[in-house]
Amino acid sequence: MGNNILFLSIFIIQMILYIYLTTTSIYIFTFSISALFPYKCKLKFLSDKKRNFAIIIPCYHEDDVIFEVIQSALNHNYLTFDIVVIADGFRQESIEKLKKLPIILFDENFDVSTKTRAINFALRQLPDNKYDAVVILDADNIMENDFLSKINESFNQGFLVIQGHRVAKNTNTNFAVLDAISEEINNQIFRKGHRVLGLSSALIGSAMAFDYVFFKNLMNDIEVVGGFDKELEMRLMRDNYKIEYLHDAYVFDEKVQNIQVFTKQRRRWLSAQFHYFGIHFIPALKALFINQNIDYFNKAYQYVQLPRILLTGLLFIITCISIPLNPTHLTIGWSVSLLLAVLSLLFSVPRKFYNQLTLKAVFYLPVGFLFMALSLLKMKGANKKFIHTKHTYNAFQIKQKK
């Protein structure tokens, strides 16, 4: 009797886990397939307006990289824009050098440093009637020369929110390679794949563009420590705004270079992800049935999913264990789920990453899986405290290749 109850309990737990992991595999497989098809916006151009952009760059202790980023932005191939830098916690000699540059500088030392606080401070100081659009960059981001022109064209099609294509500007370590691949997988599945099927793109947190007045109103009561992009996403989806994705509008972004930074960053992301799932899943479920708001529910469901490295690693372990222990049909089920997850990743990795650097980096995947799994145990409250990821990579080492 006792053994029967034990086996039944194990079976039920296994089925719940199987349903959870397999639905995630099917989800990412579906969008990885859709991303293989070209996406072209079907909306017609409503105008040929040339917008005036405010490029807002919130910075925290980024003395080492900000000057190269500013210089690159000043040379950008677009006529009407201002560079707005919020320098939080900078050295005085850096502030003096920044004052000599043709930028709008806000020298502030916030009691609590957050991205939302810095952006809202800048929005309150800037004139309301000067700008048509705003672009949010991180302190290490480099825009490709035609980035603003492509963003402007998308605004002319009627979009209020646009996500650019953020790509790696460095692959100098194994974890930088893995981070670069991870971002491209997310670009394919959660941005391009979603747009091909008519859903909104996911936001990243930088390389984002908004209608200026719309963004200022949206940000007015937002004050979060972690998960800034997720807060924006949920509000936009809830209110039925569509987020466009420009696959050919590139911004180069520094990738993490060691396991410590990789783990710290992922812990913060995971904490924010599950936090917003808890807040929004029930309202999103109601909105799905009452208002047919698929975008909102899709985003809330996405937040309960495991990251791809954890999903694939866990499925691999379970599949290996199930072979000697489980009935044939359940083993096949786990194997199919693992296959879908692996194929999703293979379909989503750009061709340029099929090289020796990637092959070498793949051997570090078990390390990444282990540290990601450990970060799940330490993620509680990680989105409620500011965790700074310091950037150090030289911007001018970038080769303008996609």
Q: Of 281, 277, 268, which Cα lies nearest the Cα of 226?
A: 268
Q: Residue 165 has what DSSP assignment?
A: E
d(CA 257, CA 173): 6
d(CA 103, CA 72): 13
The pLDDT of residue 3 is 67
Please name the residues in contact with 205: beta carbons below 8 A apart, sequence gap of 6 or more. Answer: 115, 136, 138, 228, 229
The pLDDT of residue 396 is 43
d(CA 356, CA 330): 36
Calculate what percentage of the chain has a pLDDT beyond 90.
56
The whole-chain average pLDDT of the chain stands at 87
Q: Tell whether the model's pLDDT for residue 402 goes beyond 70.
A: no
Kindly report the backbone phi and psi dihedral angles of residue 22, in degrees, each rounded to the nearest multiple of 5, phi listed first: -70, -40
Taking residue 82's Cβ as centre, other Cβ atoms within 10 Å add up to 15
Provide the residue type at 182 as one letter: S
The pLDDT of residue 366 is 84
In this prediction, residue 79 has a pLDDT band, given cuts at 50, 70 and 90, of confident
CB 268 within 8 A of CB 184: no
d(CA 274, CA 358): 30
Q: Tell whether the model's pLDDT for residue 263 goes beyond 80.
A: no
For residue 168, give the 3-state DSSP assignment.
strand
Tell me the per-residue pLDDT of 18-66, one tens digit each, with 9 for 90 and over: 999 999 999 999 999 999 999 988 888 888 899 999 999 999 888 888 9
Highest mean pLDDT among 60-69, 179-188, 222-231: 179-188
d(CA 225, CA 339): 37
d(CA 143, CA 136): 11
Residue 127, Cβ density class (10 Å: 0-12 exposed, 13-18 middle, ≥19 buried): exposed
d(CA 20, CA 14): 10
d(CA 96, CA 346): 48
Provide the residue type at 393 as one letter: Y
The pLDDT of residue 399 is 47
d(CA 236, CA 243): 8
Q: Residue 395 has what DSSP assignment?
A: G
Tell me the per-residue pLDDT of 113-153, one tens digit each, with 9 for 90 and over: 788 999 999 999 999 889 999 999 999 999 999 999 999 99
Indicate the range of 15-19, 42-46, 195-199 predicted with least confidence.
42-46
Q: Of 365, 297, 306, which Cα lies nearest the Cα of 337?
A: 306
Q: Tell whether the model's pLDDT for residue 389 goes beyond 60.
A: no
Measured at the alpha carbon of residue 180, what is the angle toward residues 223 and 54, in degrees to the nearest 5?
45
Numbered ranges of CATH 3.90.550.10 in the chain: 53-257
Structure tokens at 396: 């001018």
- The CATH H-level (homologous superfamily) assignment of domain 53-257 is Spore Coat Polysaccharide Biosynthesis Protein SpsA; Chain A (3.90.550.10)
The pLDDT of residue 395 is 45
Q: E strands within 181-228?
A: 208-211
Which long-range contacts does 94-98 make (Cβ < 8 Å, 24+ apart)? 94/63, 94/66, 97/67, 98/66, 98/67, 98/70
- DSSP run (H or E) holding 135: strand 133-136
Q: Tell whether the model's pLDDT for residue 388 goes beyond 60.
A: no
